[in-house]
Every structure is written in C-alpha cells, then in structure tokens.
Amino acid sequence: MEQFLQATINGLLQGGLYALVGVGFSLVWGVIHVVNIAHGAFVILGAYVAWKLDGAFGIDPLLGLVVAAVLLFVIGYAVQRGVINLVINAPIWMTLLLTFGLELLLVNGLILIFTGDYRSIATSYASGGLSFGDVRIPYGRLLAFGLAVLLTGLLAMFMSRSKTGQAINATGMDRVTARLMGINARHIYALTFAISAALAGAAGTMVGIVGTFNPVDAGVFTLRSFVIAVLGGLGNMWGALAGGIVLGLVEAWSGQYLSGTLIHAIGFGVLILVLIVRPTGLLGRPYSEARAET
Amino acid sequence: MLEIKSLEAGYGRIGVLWDIDLTVGEQEIVALVGSNGAGKTTLLRAVSGVIAPTKGSIVFEGRDLSGLVPEQVVRRGIAHVPEGRRLFAGLTVRENLKLGAFHLKDSASADFDRVVELFPRLGERLDQIAGSLSGGEQQMCAIGRGLMSRPKLIMIDELSLGLAPNLVDQLLERLETIRSEGMSVLLVEQDVDAALTLAERAYVLETGQIALEGSGDELLFDKRVREAYLGVA
C-alpha cells in the first residue's frame, strides 16, 4: 500500500511537470496548427541554459529558469516569424519536416557543445523533503509541481481573459477573419510559438532540477508532449494539465509494477484508449466545431 | 469616399475582375448584385486587402489602399463582414464583438452598447457560444462585430444568405439606421429585389465586369435586370 501511495505521489508530482512540458506543445498544435517536433529540444535547451548558468556563473537555478524562459521566448519568436511562417500555408508535412530538422539541429548542436553525458542541476533544496511515514515528498518535485500548475493556470487565464489571448484564439479559429479584425496574424503566430517555447524552457529547467537530462532525451519529451496534448484535448490548457497528470500517474504505476521498458508503451496505450473512447481528449470540445475552414 | 478605378484582381494567375469602376459616397448605401461566381466577393476581398489587385487603384478618403494588408485596411475605417458570417464559432457573442474592436486603443464600451441597442437579440445572447446562434443572430453578430471596429464604410457580403425573408427585411432596416448614424454601406447581395429596393445606387456585376449601374430604382425596373435576376419579364 505504501508503495502504491509513493508511486501515486511521485506520478502526480511528475505529472504536473509533464503538464508544463506539454502545455506549450498543445497550444501551438491546437491554436496555430503546427506540430512542433522540436518542442522536446526546446525543453532540453532550457535545461542546459539553467545548468550552464548555474555551473559557470553560480546563478541560482530558479533565476536561471527565468533566463531560460526569456531566451527560449526570443528564439521561439524568431523561429516562427522567420522560418515556420514561410510554410504555414503548406501541407502539415512541411511544418513537420521543418520542425524535425530543427530538432536534429538543436539536439546535435547540444551534443557537440555539451557532449551526450547525463547532467543534472544541483540545488540545496531539491534533495530535502517532507516525510509521512514511509512516504516521501521531495521539495524539488513539489516545487516543480507547484510551478507547473501555476504557469498552466496563468496561461489558461491569459488565453481566456486577455485581449492578446483572445486574438490568439481567434487567429487559430479563422486566420483571414482575424486579420479583418485588425489582428496581425504573423505576429500572433510568432507570439504563440514564443510563449510555447518559453514554457518549454521553464519546464526544462525544472526537469534538470528534479532529475537528469541529456540532449537525446528531447525525443522522449516530444513524444510525451504529443500524448499530453491529445490526451487533454488540443489547445486546451487545463486539458494539458489533466493529460500531464494522467501520463505521470500511468508512468509511475507501470514503473512500480511492470518492467521499466514498458513505460512508454503503456503511456501510448492510454492515449490510444482515450482516442477510442473520447476522440476529443479528456477536456476537449469537439474540435471541428470550433474552427472555420478557409 | 471609396473610389475604385479600372481594378483587376484574381487568385494567382486566374483573373476574376476586369476593369472595375465603382464608387461609394458619404452616407450612401450602394448595392453590388450579380449571380454566383460573378466576382462580388473577390471585389470586397480586394478592397479589404485579403487579396492584392493586379491592376487599378482603390482610394479611400483620398488615400490609396494599395499594398495594405487587411489589418491595416480596417484601421483606415473599412469593416468587411465576410460571406457566411465567419464568426469565431467557439467564442461567445461578447468575445466576438470585442474582437471587432481589436485595433482600437480604448475599451470601445460605447460601441458595444450601441451594437446591443441596434440588435437587442444579441444583448440576450452575449454569453452564448457564437456557433450555437441561429442564422439571423449570427448575421447580427457578424454585422455587430464589423461595427465594433468604428468603420466609416461597412461592406457586407451576402447579408441574406440562408435567412428567412422577414429577417432579411429587419436586417436591411438596420442598415438604414447605420447609414443615418453617418456610415456608408456597400452591400453585396444575391437577393437582388431587396438590395435594389434599399440601395440608392447599385452595380450589376457579370463575369467579373460591371454590366450595369444606376440608381436602385432604375435597375429594379430595368428589363435586363428583371429578366436575369428577378425572374420576371
């Protein structure tokens, strides 16, 4: 029982972090219809930024997280505005190919600079924790969870309450009509991609604080983002949170009771199951209804 | 106010409009009628910057609109209510209306109140998802959203599309109100009878060219118009 409880808590906390990993991916896919294969690479890049700032300049990882997020925001904006916008009207395969190329570029660039060794960001607080009997809650994971939920909530509020968030929604639903309203769609696309990348950078830093990472992990994080986004419902921020937590729990439980090699198979199994039972995702609205075709 | 001169436009290499001359004056309601595929929508799209004309000029209030993208044209004071309403279906009526005022720096609350006054039905449905509105309400919302941008000229594409005749009459009446508030209206219609009855002046577009122009009444009693569009000899 305690084993189960520990696995559940681990899964829950890890799931919060997964939500932060996947929410930006879901935003970009659901709203601007770009499946960003490089999303996982953005996560890992964020981890390396905070790791390097800590190692080379002794900058606290939480400050490093902010720097990573800002840097990724700028990179994300430039990538969308300068590159992806060029193929935004092309078939989805073009954007897939483009972001896949970007992923290769980033991952191999990181291997070249930092080697493929596993790294981790050491903090004084991540190792401590709360104990309830035999069940332990590490501070680092608690912090990651709290931050993930906070940022996801802020993003959800931004999307539904702010004028810019509404413009992002409108552009995703019908780009031409959004432009007739005076919305600069190119800028909105770039901004959306930038927000997504910034969140990935923040998530990456937390990944580095609570565990280890190396450049090749990028692919796994993209796959997880895929599961989280579809599980929760594309473009739905609270859905991504739910999707992240479900994936975290499933991974933790299967890691506890089954062979570790099965973890991803189980994760995708859940995805397939959800798609069969509820194709719009856990919290998704029927997607086709929310979008006008051009 | 709006002056279109020898305009040619199309999609890619396919020309749709040829040598179009059209004007809309201050506080004037102008109708543009014609059959499917005549190029009416293309003409509006060229004015609002959705497509770039290949020849000719579009001048609004003395300033050339060529080279402007839609988000700039709306700032010049032209609202384009697109064919099929094109509401943001997943958002509420209120959100749709507010997006109409996106480019305005102020809160546009006076404009909002005015739209609700013009279309009281919308006032009852402000928090309803736009996709769940009836056709008539959707058209009210689309026109309201256009008015939210504080335009001097509003262009409405196929106001009557899929609506019951009495509802069309109601909406057309509102256009009179809009005009009396100081705006000009360029109305694209397939309901030729209703459009010509309302409009001061009208143009008949046929296969991308202006075939006829005149006052609404003139065209309404024109033999060719009656035969081709009204089904009476």
Range of the domain at B127: 90-150
Rounded-to-integer distance, Cα B63 and Cα A66, Å: 46
Window 157-216 of A: residues touching B by CB (8 A cutoff) are 163, 166-167, 169-170, 173-174, 176-185
B175-202, pLDDT tens digit by residue? 999 999 999 999 999 888 889 999 999 9
Q: Is residue B66 part of a domain?
A: yes
Q: Quote the Cα angle for A289-A292-B2, to 5°.
A: 145
> Would the pLDDT of A291 be above 50?
no
Top residue of A180, A183, A287 to mutate, by most chain B CBs within 10 Å, is A180
B28-84, pLDDT tens digit by residue? 999 999 888 899 999 999 999 999 999 999 999 999 999 999 999 999 999 999 999
Average pLDDT, chain B: 93
Same domain, B72 and B155: yes
Residue A98: partners with Cβ closer than 8 Å, 6 or more residues away? A83, A84, A87
**pLDDT of res. A123:** 84
Same domain, B170 and B121: no
Looking at CATH, the fold of the domain delimited by A2-290 is given as ABC transporter involved in vitamin B12 uptake, BtuC (1.10.3470)
Query: B228 forms bridges with which residues in the sheet?
Result: none
Domain boundaries, chain A: 2-290
Q: Average pLDDT in the A158-168 region? A: 94
Same domain, B17 and B125: no
The predicted complex's ipTM stands at 0.93
Cα separation values, B59 from A33, B64, B93, B202, Å = 36, 4, 33, 19
Residue B27: partners with Cβ closer than 8 Å, 6 or more residues away? B179, B180, B182, B183, B184
Same domain, B174 and B72: yes
Domains contained in chain B, number: 2
**pLDDT of res. B233:** 57
Phi, then psi, of B49 in degrees rounded to 5: 90, 5
Same domain, B144 and B195: no
Share of chain B above pLDDT 90, in %: 85
Strand B14-24 and strand B2-11: the pairing is antiparallel
Q: Is residue B83 part of a domain?
A: no
B78-91, pLDDT tens digit by residue? 999 999 999 999 89
A114-155, pLDDT tens digit by residue? 999 999 998 877 678 888 888 889 888 899 899 989 999 999
Instruction: Count the residues in chain A.
Output: 294
Q: How confident is the model at residue B97 (pLDDT cuts 50, 70, 90)?
A: very high
CATH number, domain with residue B161? 3.40.50.300
CB-CB: which of B69, B87, B131 is closest to A179?
B69
Q: How confident is the model at residue B122 (pLDDT cuts 50, 70, 90)?
A: very high
Listed in sequence order, the DSSP H helices in chain B are: 40-48, 70-76, 93-100, 109-118, 120-124, 135-147, 165-180, 192-198, 216-220, 223-229
Judge contact between A65 and A210, C-beta under 8 A. Answer: no
Which tokens sit at B20? 């179009």
Q: How confident is the model at residue A285 (pLDDT cuts 50, 70, 90)?
A: low
Same domain, B157 and B207: yes
Please give the order of strands across the beta sheet that includes B14-24: B14-24, B2-11, B55-60, B63-64
Q: Quote the Cα angle for B164-B166-B168, to 5°.
A: 70
Rounded-to-integer distance, Cα B1 and Cα A108, Å: 59
Query: Is the CB of A173 less than 8 angstroms away from the CB of B48?
Result: no
B126-162, pLDDT tens digit by residue? 999 999 999 999 999 999 999 999 999 999 999 999 8
